[in-house]
Amino acid sequence: MSLRKLGFLAVLTLSSVYVYLALRGPQGLPALQQRWTEIRRLQAQNAELSREVQLRSERIARLRDNPAEQELEIRKRLKLQRKNETTFITPESESDK
């Protein structure tokens, strides 16, 4: 084998080893896959928070525009009742909390 072919083979081998170690190392494919998983998780969390913000914005708009709903909310939070009105107190379920 000529010296030129041997040098080319050595460079090719070293390059292959370097690429393998770079892809399998701590900053390689496993880390990239972990980052993509984290990105997907954060995107799902962001979408859920956006839905929650939208629901709360709609509720605020309803309270702002509807005096009867405002009164119900105030009475509910302050546990107020009108004269001659009977209130039944039931235990809260897990979904109400």
For the stretch 75-85, pLDDT in tens is: 888 878 888 87
Residue 11's SS3 state is helix
Non-local CB neighbours of 62 within 8 Å, separated by 6+ positions? 69
Give the pLDDT band (50/70/90) at residue 60.
very high
Cα separation, 72 vs 84, in Å, equals 16
Stated pTM of the model: 0.55
Q: Is 84 left (phi over 0), alpha (psi -120 to 50) or beta?
A: left
Q: What pLDDT is recorded for position 40?
A: 98
Place of tokens 């993509």: 36
